[in-house]
């Protein structure tokens, strides 16, 4: 797993951040399974639960980002999302804090 958190404070005091998380791709683990309902196609065992795993990983991404923001104290009054891209293997969020930097 690879995590990064970059911050930027503009001259007007606005605070922006980019949080990204990259998870390792799952290793292929056999056995391959075939069922009569699959019309003869081969499917990896991991693919069978993939729909549920995607939702779980999205929750893990959001949790990791919230944890990083709390840990750093960068957005004390919350934030809003500028751009968001999340997939099964990680994601990236660009956001802006609701509070301004104190000079």
Q: What is the pLDDT of residues 28-73, one digit of tens each?
A: 565 555 445 444 444 333 343 344 444 555 558 889 999 999 999 9
User: How do 32-33 and 43-44 pair as beta strands?
Assistant: antiparallel
Tens of pLDDT, residue by residue over 4-31, are 999 999 999 999 999 999 987 666 565 5
With bands split at pLDDT 50, 70 and 90, how would you rate the model's confidence at 1? confident
Model pTM score: 0.67
Supply the pLDDT for residue 50: 40
Nearest by Cα to 90 from 3, 30, 13: 3
Nearest by Cα to 4 from 72, 77, 87: 72
């Amino acid at each position: 797993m690879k995590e990064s958190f970059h911050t930027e404070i503009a001259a007007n005091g606005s605070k922006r951040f980019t949080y990204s998380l990259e998870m390792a791709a799952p290793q292929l683990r056999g056995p391959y399974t075939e069922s009569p309902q699959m019309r003869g196609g081969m499917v990896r065992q991991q693919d069978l639960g993939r729909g549920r795993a995607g939702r779980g990983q999205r929750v893990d991404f959001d949790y990791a980002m919230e944890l990083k923001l709390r840990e750093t104290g960068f957005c004390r009054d919350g934030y809003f999302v500028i751009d968001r891209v999340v997939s099964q293997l990680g994601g990236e969020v660009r956001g802006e804090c609701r509070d301004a930097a104190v000079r």
